Amino acid sequence: MAIYHIRIKVFKRSAGHSVIAAAAYRAGLCLLDRVTGIRHDYTRRKHVVASLNLAPQGAPEWAMDPTRVWQEANSAERRVDACLAREFEISLPHELTDAQRLKLVESIANALIEKYGFAIQASIHAPDKPAGLNHHVHILATTRRIDEFGFGKKTRELDGGKEGGRQVYWVRAMVAGKINEHLKAAGLSERVDHRKLSAQAMDALQRGDLVEAAKLSRQPTQHLGRAATALHKRGELSKRQRINDGIAEANRARIQALMGRLGDSLPARAPASQVQAVVTGTQVIDPSVAVTQAVLAASLKAGKLTVGASTRPAASKTGNKKQDALAAERREREDEIERLLLEAQRIWQEGLNESLRTALAGNMAILFEIKPLIRQYGHLYTFASDVKQFHQAITQAERDRSRFRRRMEAWGRARVKLSHAKADLDDFDAKNPRPGLWSRREWAERRRARATRLAHRQRDCDRAFKATDPDAQTRYKRQSDESLATLRNVGKRFAERYLSGLGNPEPAQSAPVEPSAEEETQLQVSKRRGRGSRRPGVSQPLPRGPQVPK
């Protein structure tokens, strides 16, 4: 489906930004900064599909020339903290062809020029991978209006404040409208929406489309940015990437839980009048339907979605503080159990090899009987401990299984970077065998920087290669086998303790399961210290068979 994304940023001289370098990088050009004397050469840059320069009618001819317009824009700003350019980064529908995307970009650029009167350079980029879908355009705009006399007044309405917010909303709505127009003209049914997720979800709820409202009840992830993306390409996790992973997992658990409630209690679509009555509180329909709709409506009307929150209705308070606290603690524990089991189910379903599936053969009810398990054993502390242990085992098995593949990918990226560094140094030596226009010191500093980068890339490549040698492969294989064996034992023990009595209000006591040596040691230590009761942070022995208090 078509994805809507737009990001607006500014290039500031006080932050060390160079509008010449930005224009050269986005268009894949070689531009010389006449102020600093630095040549920004990005002619070898790949994935630049097209680049066009546009300006208002009557503007000078040099406004259409990228080698001059950005020099003039840079010279027009005299302050040391001046904003040099403004960029609109927009995702383009991958369903369109290259020619259709070019027409779409021209339409968006002309609308911006008509509104603000500035000069524009629009560079369309293709995805890094052949099968990628990240088609996008970088629209680099001057911060001043331009006419037949050259650059004039600044576009202050885009600088910020309430007016800036209104202008940004206009840009977002305009871009969404242009994209939808071109999708419709191409005969495609896909559409994009520039509104917030909460507004889209509330609109779906008002229409009675509860499935769509449940899918839209998610928290948006954060933009990674250049630094985090570079770390991700090197195979490293940034702080923002970890935050996004947590948000994605919580969103997945929340949506699956909501969809489960919808599947259990009501059809995918309910009459709009019925939904409106529930949202406004003027009518009470079937309780199971009302609960699901009320959960969605309350979250959306408040404008805040609780990530990972349970979709079970909140229990009424009894007035007894102790009982209410115990009930709240139990609900939190059951929510955590549900989240861990749903995540384990996702890990099992997404791209796992046959060895991991074989490790859980015969015990798959663990992952597909989540609600009955929570309903029957969710009140047990030991059950929560078992679920955490099972989740940790399957996560570790998947991590160890894919470790060698990740190391090979990292080695491939290191080799590409090494070849680029070698080519950069060779190109510098070929074009600048002697200082030339530079001083000897400047020439030496430039060459030293390239040689240092090459040394660093060589070191990274050697390190990545060492992580894929035969010894490393043997180590990865041993770790993977150990993790699979642990997962097999944990799954078998979990099934014997809980699945045997599933569905029986009073399950019969199964034959006791012999504890492992580690569990026996923990039990003996607990008895010697007189700590039979559970304490936070202390690992407890697992129960011998399903235990339900009378």
136-147/118-125 β-pairing? antiparallel
Per-residue pLDDT band for 273 (boundaries 50, 70, 90) equals: very low
Q: Is the pLDDT of residue 342 over 60?
A: yes
Q: Which of 169-178, 186-195, 334-343, 398-407 has the highest mean pLDDT?
A: 169-178
Question: Helices 225-233 and 239-265 meet at what angle, rounded to 10?
Answer: 90
Residues contacting residue 447 through CB under 8 Å, at least 6 positions apart: 425, 428, 429, 432
Model pLDDT, residue 151:
92
The whole-angstrom separation of Cα 171 and Cα 111 is: 9
Give the pair of three-digit tokens for residue 27: 């268009």
CA 299 centroid distance within chain = 22
Q: Does the pLDDT of residue 347 top 90, yes or no?
A: no
5-19, 74-88, 161-175, 429-443: least confidently modelled range: 429-443
User: Could you tell me which residue, 75 or 332, shows the higher pLDDT?
Assistant: 75
Confidence of residue 45 (pLDDT cuts 50, 70, 90): confident
Q: Residue 361: what pLDDT?
A: 58
* Mean of the per-residue pLDDT values of the chain: 76
Distance of alpha carbon 386 from alpha carbon 340, whole angstroms: 11
pLDDT band at residue 69 under the 50/70/90 scheme: very high
Q: Whose CA is closest to 341, among 392, 402, 396?
A: 392
Is 265's pLDDT higher than 50?
no
Q: Which DSSP symbol is given to 451? A: H
Radius of gyration for the alpha carbons in the chain, expressed in angstroms and rounded: 30
Most confident among 4-18, 241-255, 267-281 (mean pLDDT):
4-18
Instruction: Please give the single-letter amino acid code of residue 13.
Output: R
427 confidence band (pLDDT: 50, 70, 90): confident
Residue 189 has pLDDT above 50, yes or no: yes
Please say whether the beta carbons of 360 and 487 come within 8 A. Answer: yes
No. of helices (H) and no. of strands (E), the chain: 19, 8
CA 190, CA 373: separation in Å to the nearest integer? 40
Counting other chains too, the contacts that 408-413 makes at CB distance below 8 Å and 24 or more residues apart are 408/468, 409/235, 410/234, 410/235, 410/464, 410/467, 411/461, 411/464, 411/465, 411/467, 411/468, 413/233, 413/234, 413/235, 413/464
Most confident of 194-208, 278-292, 343-357, 434-448: 434-448
Q: Contact 308/337 with Cβ under 8 angstroms?
A: no
Q: How many CB atoms lie within 10 A of CB 497?
A: 21
User: In whole angstroms, what is the distance from residue 368 CA to residue 341 CA?
Assistant: 9
Q: Which amino acid is at 118?
A: F
* CB neighbour list of residue 344: distance below 8 Å, 6 or more residues apart: 366, 367, 390, 391, 394, 395
For the residues 405-428, what does the mean pLDDT come to?
87
Long-range contacts of 167-175 (CB under 8 A, 24+ apart): 168/8, 170/115, 171/6, 171/8, 171/88, 171/112, 172/6, 174/108, 174/111, 175/4, 175/6, 175/90, 175/108
CA distances from 478 to 87, 248, 492 (A): 50, 31, 21
Three-class HEC string of 68-80: HHHHHHHHHCCCC
52: left (phi over 0), alpha (psi -120 to 50) or beta: beta
Determine the straight-line distance between the first and last CA of the chain, rounded to whole angstroms.
52
**Closest by Cα among 141, 137, 69, 60 to 98:** 137
> Is the predicted pLDDT of residue 536 greater than 50, yes or no?
no
Number of C-alpha atoms within 13 angstroms, CB side, residue 27?
Answer: 22
Predicted confidence band of residue 34 (pLDDT cuts 50, 70, 90): confident
- Is residue 286 within 8 A of residue 314, CB to CB? The reply is no
Helix H, strand E, coil C: the string for 266-290 is CCCECCHHHHHHHHHCCCCCCHHHH
Provide the 10 A C-beta neighbour count for residue 446.
Answer: 15
Residue 110 in tokens:
């002309």
Strands (E), 366-423: none
Mean predicted confidence (pLDDT) in 252-265: 62
DSSP string spanning 455-487? HHHHHHHHHHHHTTSHHHHHHHHHHHHHHHHHH
DSSP class per residue in 109-130: HHHHHHHH-EEEEEEEE--SST
Q: Say what the pLDDT of residue 508 is.
A: 36
Mean pLDDT of 324-339: 77
Q: pLDDT: is 150 or 327 the higher one?
A: 150
Contact between 295 and 312 under an 8 Å Cβ cutoff? The reply is: no
In 3D, which of 286, 285, 314 has the Cα closest to residue 298? 314
- CA 237-241-246 angle, to 5 degrees, is 115
Phi, psi of 20 (to 5 degrees): -65, -45
Cβ(53)–Cβ(66) below 8 Å: yes
CA dihedral (418, 423, 425, 426) in degrees, to 10, reads: 140
Of 314, 361, 307, 382, nearest to 339 by C-alpha is: 307
pLDDT digits (tens, 9 = 90+) for 14-23: 888 999 999 9
pLDDT score of 351: 45
- State the amino acid at position 390 in one-letter form: F
Query: What does the pLDDT read at residue 124?
Result: 95
DSSP β-ladder status, 39-41 and 118-125: unpaired
405 conformational bin, left if phi > 0, alpha if psi -120 to 50, beta if neither = alpha
Cα four-point dihedral sign 429, 435, 437, 443: positive
DSSP state of 435: -
Residues 445-456 have a mean pLDDT of 92
The answer to whether residue 523 scores a pLDDT higher than 50 is no
